Amino acid sequence: MKQIWKMTASEIADAVRSKKLSATEVTRAHLDRLDEVNPKINAVVQEFPEEALQAAQQVDNAISQGEDPGVLCGVPVTVKVNVDQKGHASTNGVRLLKDLVALDDSPVVSNIRKAGGVIVGRTNTPAFSLRWFTNNSLHGQTLNPRNRNITPGGSSGGAAAAVAAGICAMGHGTDIAGSIRYPAYACGLHGLRPTFGRVPAYNASAPDRYIGAQLMAVSGPIARSIPDLELSLAAMTATDMRDPWYRAAPMDNADIPKRAALTLAPDGMEVAPEVHAALIEASEKLKSAGWTVEEVDCPPLRAAAEVNARLWMAETQFGQGDMIEREADPDSQFVFEQMSSDTGVVGLESLMSALQERIGLIRQWEMFLQDYPLFVCPVSGVLPFEQQLDVSSKEAFAKVFEAQLTQRALPVIGVPSLSVATGEVNNRPVGVQLVASRFREDILLSAGRDIERACEPVSVAEPTWS
């Protein structure tokens, strides 16, 4: 048997359920791996080994009594520090929140526990979860275990780095503008942004969020295999009525039309040759698996990205602007200044028009996705960025912002999207993004499996620097 920390979540769940391994044995192996590699990459910023081992023992006890612990059945999981986990601080990478200890689990954490997942640590995020890079004044910088010179992504950069390094088999992330999909891309993994409303969300430690985040922010999984995403999604989506937006929708709709649209450069965005090549290769893999792929223009993404910016900045300016100033984290201040400069002050008229534009964009995209049940496009316009590129200058920030067009646009539409790793180019991961109609994650996972089967399996990274 391969080293335990190299096993996928599906392999671990099967091994624990069949008693080939105990959940305690699996957890100890991952905690040892955490001790070995985390000092090099700083992915996990809150550790609680005894608590993790107690959770593992509960799984083993359930199995010994003939009970089913749930679909995750002893799988080691990490949780991002911007969601509530009872007894731990929901810092969101912010010094001002370092003592904000949660009294209860958020729905997604509760669902992971109920499914038999074992939480082995909490992962880093940029301050206020505001960037596609992971660095803050409270927890420090997270490095990419595949290449320390490039970003691990953000804002779920700690989650992706932990999965890539074998600290956990599945990482929980959140996504309002690419914060699951981009870290998966940057760390050579797969990441699923579920449909808005699919995974229940609520943090009792803070006031409810404003309308932009309510409509665009979701939780989802990052993993090393597509079946692991499917397993994780099944766990995360259990009913929790603390979220009024939650919808218990079917997970498997059976009918999967193998018809796809490919757009190489949506809305004229600049796409690097390596990304272009990955898209062509992925479309050929889909064709070999029986999909019809047609290269077409897609509905507007740039207009959707502009709506995202206004909704996001309306929330940030109104609810967090003063806090960003008081926190005085230089990276988040710079990013906030650039985004505010781009959108201006988002007042009532701008906010109302953004919400009006959003419904029209959703209409166009849903009609498009009826004709093409699968949409294939770039995750990012370029290979993963160099560390801290976005805060190096105004010009660099503008280039980063433009390259992330699809990351920013799709949350406005509310559709699920999947970042699929396809390989490496020049020591940098590359991949493609798949999009489907609302609550059709089954189409994404089916297409993702077809691409995955034609690629080299995702490996665990070994950070070799001292």
Give the pLDDT of residue 1: 61
- Consecutive 10-residue runs of the chain (466 residues): their mean pLDDT? 93 98 98 98 98 98 97 98 98 98 98 98 98 98 98 98 99 98 98 98 96 96 98 98 96 90 98 98 98 98 97 86 94 95 90 97 98 98 98 98 98 98 97 98 98 98 90
Give the pLDDT of residue 317: 86
Domains of the chain: 4-453 (3.90.1300.10)
Give the pLDDT of residue 115: 98
Give the pLDDT of residue 318: 86
Give the pLDDT of residue 461: 98
Q: Which of 10, 22, 80, 156 is catalytic?
A: 80
Q: Which of 90, 106, 129, 155 is catalytic?
A: 155
Q: Which of 22, 129, 179, 437 is catalytic?
A: 179
**332: which residues sit within 8 A by CB, 6+ positions away?**
126, 127, 128, 130, 131, 136, 324
Question: 155 an active-site residue?
Answer: yes
**277: which residues sit within 8 A by CB, 6+ positions away?**
none
Predicted TM-score (pTM) of this structure = 0.98
